[in-house]
Amino acid sequence: MLVVLKRNFFARRKIVYVIYTPKNLQFYSSNVYYGSSVTETRYSSNDVIFSGIQPTGIPHLGNYFGALKSWSSLQERFHKNYFCVVDLHALTVLRTPGALLENIKTMIVSLLACGIDPQKSVIFQQSMVPHHCELLWILCCFTSLSSLKRMTQFKAQHIIKKENVSTKAGLFTYPILMAADIFLYQSTRVPVGDDQRQHIEFARDLAISVNYTFSQKLFSVPEGLYGSIPRLRDLRNPAVKMSKTAPSSNGCINLTDSDDEISAKIRMSFTDCEPLLTYDLVRRPGVANLINIYSACTGKSPSVVCEEFRDSSMREFKEAVVEAVIHEVAPIRKQIGLLKGEEDYIRKVLEMGRLRAEVAACQTVTRVKKVMGLLEL
């Protein structure tokens, strides 16, 4: 049973919402892969976790090990967890309205299926909390153009797109919206991929600058939590990361793939002709990618995996990877199938998350507006 409190600050009342979890659903929690899902650091009971994921449809194995599995682990260690489907960020890539809405619903279902528990974490849709856009504009007024022009992701996309279409402002201000997402909930820890490191540093600098300007702590200064496992690569082309937009769908394992599909993709994966199993990301990227996948599924380090299969052929090792991936994905696939038929439950989870997120976001924005003279003290 899920319970959420919505406080009416004007009437000083509490409204209690009760959501009953369908009996045939269970929150799936799997083992954490080798080392830790995020880099080890000191934690405090007062830490606030925030992270977001774009609604791209069904997550793939890279999304799962790179983000969702660690989120499930973190919610067991912290009391304040905010996990958001960042649909406003997704607008930087134009999609048809129907496709975007379907992707949002699918991602919410996937978060629940991967073990994100609404009783332990706030699960919500970014655009349903208007304070994100409100704080975005305020932060824009404290951000220099030069700091945005230094963002490597913007420069890379600008180079790619400039020959065909003009670069949109949304891509340019993307880091400011990301900072607003983080600041609204006074987040202290942000689990992200290594490619977001510069954005986290941007958010830290912006928080420090605004706090200094007003001589008080308006925003917590966040720290990034970065995964300890290398990013999973495309099974057919290990030179690029695993992605659903790759030319061949055989290079990406989705969390809804059948056992036969998983088996076929791994058996066709790019490797080499060397007889021994060795871990070398540069010289043997395809083999190293399979080792990383097996390590992530089993919790064994790459060195232990190489020792375990030192007398095995590549075919035998691929069969072991197939078995490990199926063991990891099958329960999630089943949960996704069950949750897709529970639309009323999904709506209630989203409503509960919106209400809880709004309480925290409203407190931050109200304080900021008072300090800046937009509201009376």
In a domain, 376, yes or no: no
Are 305 and 179 in a shared domain?
no
Label residue 71 by pLDDT band (50, 70, 90). Answer: very high
Asked if 300 and 34 count as a contact pair (C-beta separation under 8 A), the reply is yes
User: 35 and 140: one domain?
Assistant: yes
Tell whether the torsion through CA atoms of 268, 270, 276 and 281 is positive or negative: negative
User: Are 221 and 274 members of one domain?
Assistant: no
Rounded CA-CA distance 138/377 in Å is 18
Does the pLDDT of residue 207 top 50, yes or no?
yes
**Looking at the structure, do residues 213 and 98 belong to the same domain, yes or no?**
yes
Task: Enter the pTM of the model.
Answer: 0.86
User: How many structural domains are present in the chain?
Assistant: 2
Residue 6 lies in a domain: no
- Structural domain harbouring 300: 249-335
Verify that 114 and 202 share a domain, yes or no. Answer: yes
Interval 286-344: pLDDT, tens: 999 999 999 999 999 999 999 999 999 999 999 999 999 999 999 999 999 999 989 99
H helical segments located in 77-225: 97-113, 131-140, 145-149, 152-161, 169-172, 174-184, 197-213
Q: What are phi and psi of 7, to 5 degrees?
A: -90, 130
* 356 and 222 part of one domain: yes
The stretch 82-86 carries a mean pLDDT of: 97
Same domain for 109 and 192, yes or no, is yes
For residue 174, the domain's CATH number is 3.40.50.620
CATH number, domain with residue 257: 1.10.240.10
86-110 per-position pLDDT tens digit: 999 999 887 788 899 999 999 999 9
Reference 137, options 365, 357, 354; nearest CA is 365
3-class state of residue 198 by DSSP: helix
| Average pLDDT estimate for 165-189 | 91
Give domain status of residue 21, yes or no. Answer: no
Mean pLDDT of 229-238: 92
Contacting residues for 233 by C-beta, under 8 A, at least 6 apart: 239, 240, 241, 242, 285, 286, 289
